Structure 1
Amino acid sequence: MRATEDIMQVWRKFNDFPMETLTKAWHSLIDPECKQRTTDVMKEHRALYGTSGNCFDLAIWLIDEFRQNKRPCYGVLTEHLHVAVVAVNEEGNKYFCDLGDQWIEPILLEPGHEAYTEEFVDGFFPGSRIKLNTRANRLLITYGRPNGKESSQAFDLTPVSDEALIIAGQKTQRLFSDPLVEKRIFTDQEVLHWEFDHYESYLSSKEGRIAEPQLKDIGEWAERIHTMSGIHEEVVIRALEVYSKKSSHP
Structure 2
Amino acid sequence: MRAASEILAVWHAFDDFPMETLTKAWHYRSGNEPKQRSVELMRLHRERYGSSGNCFDLALWLIDAFRREGISAYAVGHDLLTPNAHVAVAALDGRGRAYLCDLGDQWIEPILIDAGSGDFTEEPLAGFVSGARVALSVRDSWLHVVYLRPNGKRSEQTYDLRPIAPDALLAAGEYSQRLLRKPLVERRIYTETEVLHWELGDDASYLSGKRGRTEEEPMRSLADRVERIHRHTGMDRQVIEQALTVYGTASIQFD
Letter aligned with residue 44 of structure 1: L
Match of 1:12 in 2: 12
The CA deviation at 1:246 is 2.6
Letter aligned with residue 129 of structure 2: F
What do the CA deviations read for 1:51-72 (whole angstroms, capped 9, x no partner)? 0000000000000001111111
The CA deviation at 1:189 is 0.2
Matched ranges for 1:78-157 at <5 A: 78-79=78-79, 80-157=84-161
More displaced stretch, 77-86 vs 188-197: 77-86
> Identical aligned pairs, as a percentage?
50
The CA deviation at 1:92 is 1.2
Match of 2:181 in 1: 177
Letter aligned with residue 102 of structure 2: D
Match of 2:191 in 1: 187
User: Are 1:216 and 2:213 matched, yes or no?
Assistant: no
Letter aligned with residue 53 of structure 1: G
Letter aligned with residue 113 of structure 2: L
The CA deviation at 1:208 is 0.2
User: Are 1:72 and 2:77 matched, yes or no?
Assistant: no
Runs of 4+ in 1 over 4 A off after TM superposition: none
Measured in 1, the distance between the counterparts of 2:222 and 2:166 equals 37
The CA deviation at 1:34 is 5.3
Measured in 2, the distance between the counterparts of 1:228 and 1:239 equals 16
Match of 2:22 in 1: 22
Measured in 2, the distance between the counterparts of 1:97 and 1:137 equals 17
User: Are 1:235 and 2:239 matched, yes or no?
Assistant: yes
Contact 1:6–1:90 at 8 Å: present in 2 too? no
In the alignment, structure 1 segments of 5+ residues that lack a partner are none
**Could you tell me the TM-score, scaled by structure 1's length?**
0.97
Letter aligned with residue 24 of structure 2: K
Contact 1:128–1:146 at 8 Å: present in 2 too? yes
Matched ranges for 1:161-176 at <5 A: 161-176=165-180
Contact 1:138–1:156 at 8 Å: present in 2 too? yes
The CA deviation at 1:77 is 1.4
The 3-state SS of whatever aligns with 1:122 is: strand
Contact 1:184–1:194 at 8 Å: present in 2 too? yes
Letter aligned with residue 83 of structure 1: V
The CA deviation at 1:33 is 4.4
Letter aligned with residue 237 of structure 2: E
Aligned residue pairs: how many? 247
The 3-state SS of whatever aligns with 1:29 is: helix
In the alignment, structure 2 segments of 5+ residues that lack a partner are none
Letter aligned with residue 11 of structure 2: W
When the two chains are superposed, the root-mean-square deviation of aligned CA atoms in Å is 1.0
The CA deviation at 1:90 is 1.2
Match of 1:48 in 2: 48
What do the CA deviations read for 1:184-237 (whole angstroms, capped 9, x no partner)? 001110000000011210100100001111111111100000000111111100
Contact 1:34–1:173 at 8 Å: present in 2 too? no
The CA deviation at 1:111 is 1.2
The CA deviation at 1:32 is 4.9
Contact 1:192–1:205 at 8 Å: present in 2 too? yes
